[in-house]
Amino acid sequence: MKQIQADTDKDAVSEWLAGFSDSPKTLKAYRRESERFLLWITQLRPGATLKQLMLDDVRAYEAFLKNIPETWISKGKPARAQPNWRPFAGQLTKSSFRHAMMILKSMLAWLQAVGFAATNPFVIDRKRYRKPPTANLGVTRYLSKAAIDRVFEEIEWLPALHRYELREKARISLAFCLYYDSALRLSEPVGANFGSIDHDSEGFWLYVVGKGGKEARVPLSPRAILALAQYTEAFGLDNTISEDTPLLLAMRGSRRRATEATMGLAVGKILKTAAKRAQEAGVLEDAKALEAATPHWLRHSRISHLINGGANVNVVRQLARHEDLATTSKYSHAEAEALQKLVGVV
């Protein structure tokens, strides 16, 4: 029995996408892949519909994604409204291919569950789109403790002669404490307000909306509290903060919220500066890691440093907000080090 009002494929997909309105990143990815698939059906698979999708339709789309025609790939970065816009930016990597197919599999499963689609041929070969087993053997995208200390030093050395420089330094200092000390994801402090900060007998906390729209309370380090005080002073917020004041502000404008892209660039910039300093100092391994690092590496690094420093893995799991303890355990490098020592014995 059909449980949605939609009669067309487009309307049914819109109903499915509406369920992800509270998770902008997920919504963006799911919309992109579903729109590509519908466009492909319309132009290259006449007669196919989501209501009666067949296995050969799925096989044909697999082949299409593995060798996307040049006529479907944009040259440069045209806006969607421009006539030279195309749905793909280039050929897909293996991981991007798997991600696309898993999204469509999930979409068809939902459409089948609500009675719109008769079948879901994506489930016939369940293992086809899974990651290779080696993908979960451990976490390697992290920085050494010395590399993290080097970045904090770089922040201390930033100039603060003018108001703009002072604010820029204060903001990156606070952001780095949040992303590393509290192991936050890039979007989490960006979406928070000053009203998200709480204090009790145990210390200071920040309420964030995390992965999958889940709300969480994470602890703030003493270093973050000090950085927060310097930040509010630099931005002149001391007597004017309201519950709705964004925690991370744009550098220009009146109380505008900084974007994820802005904070990603700011963190990336200081990481690159630290990489250059490490290179000059001859610390080549840290220089290479810092050059490759993204803001999310700070989260990985914090979890890794705590686990390998002897912290209780269950407590670290709570900080990381992992549902499965096995996920947190992947951050331990003790076994890898033991194996390296073992093969060194002759």
Q: Which residue among 136, 170, 186 closes a domain?
A: 136
Q: What is the pLDDT of residue 139?
A: 55
| pLDDT beyond 60 at 99 | yes
Q: Which residue among 109, 136, 163 closes a domain?
A: 136
Query: Are residues 111 and 160 located together in one domain of the fold?
Result: no
Q: What is the pLDDT of residue 227?
A: 96
**Is 177 inside a domain boundary?**
yes
Query: Are residues 320 and 223 located together in one domain of the fold?
Result: yes
Q: What is the pLDDT of residue 297?
A: 93
Find the range with the poorest average confidence among 18-27, 232-241, 274-283.
Answer: 18-27
| pLDDT beyond 70 at 89 | yes
| pLDDT beyond 50 at 156 | yes
**Is 118 inside a domain boundary?**
yes
**Is 344 inside a domain boundary?**
no
- Structural domain count, the chain: 2
| pLDDT beyond 80 at 345 | no
Q: What is the pLDDT of residue 62?
A: 94
Query: Are residues 125 and 228 located together in one domain of the fold?
Result: no
Q: Mean per-residue pLDDT for 46-54?
A: 90
| pLDDT beyond 60 at 335 | no
Q: Cβ distance 134 to 20 under 8 Å?
A: no
Q: Mean per-residue pLDDT for 120-140?
A: 61
| pLDDT beyond 60 at 342 | no
17-46 confidence digits (pLDDT tens): 988 887 788 888 999 999 999 999 999 998
DSSP string, 243-284: TTSBSSB-SSSSSPBPPHHHHHHHHHHHHHHHHHHHHHTT-H
Q: Cβ distance 208 to 192 under 8 Å?
A: yes
Query: Are residues 179 and 78 located together in one domain of the fold?
Result: no
Q: Which residue among 136, 160, 175 closes a domain?
A: 136
Query: Are residues 159 and 299 located together in one domain of the fold?
Result: yes
Per DSSP, the three-state class of 22 is coil
Q: What percent of the chain has pLDDT over 70?
A: 91
Q: What is the pLDDT of residue 134?
A: 47
Q: Cβ distance 58 to 121 under 8 Å?
A: yes
Q: Mean per-residue pLDDT for 200-217?
A: 88
**pTM summary value:** 0.62
At residue 95 the predicted structure's pLDDT band, cuts being 50, 70 and 90, is confident
Query: Are residues 56 and 175 located together in one domain of the fold?
Result: no
Q: What is the pLDDT of residue 181?
A: 96
Q: What is the pLDDT of residue 238?
A: 75
Looking at per-residue pLDDT, the higher value among 300 and 346 belongs to 300
Q: Cβ distance 276 to 293 under 8 Å?
A: no
| pLDDT beyond 80 at 127 | no
CATH of residue 183's domain is 1.10.443.10
**Is 92 inside a domain boundary?**
yes
| pLDDT beyond 60 at 131 | no
**Is 346 inside a domain boundary?**
no
Query: Are residues 42 and 68 located together in one domain of the fold?
Result: yes
- CA nearest 237: which of 324, 325, 171? 171
Q: What is the pLDDT of residue 339?
A: 47
Q: What domain range includes position 26? A: 9-136
**Rg (Cα) of the chain, in Å, rounded?**
24
Looking at per-residue pLDDT, the higher value among 24 and 251 belongs to 251
Query: Are residues 124 and 149 located together in one domain of the fold?
Result: no
**Is 341 inside a domain boundary?**
no
Query: Are residues 326 and 202 located together in one domain of the fold?
Result: yes
**Is 73 inside a domain boundary?**
yes
| pLDDT beyond 90 at 193 | yes
DSSP string, 64-131: HHHT--GGGB-SS---TTSTT--SBSSPPPHHHHHHHHHHHHHHHHHHHHTTS-S--GGGTTGGGGSP
159-176 confidence digits (pLDDT tens): 999 999 999 999 999 999
2-23 confidence digits (pLDDT tens): 788 899 999 999 999 988 887 7
Q: Which two tokens stand for residue 232?
A: 């509010």
Query: Are residues 116 and 64 located together in one domain of the fold?
Result: yes
Handedness of CA 230, 236, 241, 247 (dihedral sign): negative
Average pLDDT value over all residues in the chain: 87
Q: What is the pLDDT of residue 150?
A: 96
Query: Are residues 32 and 73 located together in one domain of the fold?
Result: yes
Query: Are residues 102 and 210 located together in one domain of the fold?
Result: no
240-250 confidence digits (pLDDT tens): 788 999 999 99
Q: Cβ distance 155 to 192 under 8 Å?
A: no
| pLDDT beyond 70 at 200 | yes
| pLDDT beyond 50 at 346 | no
**Is 2 inside a domain boundary?**
no
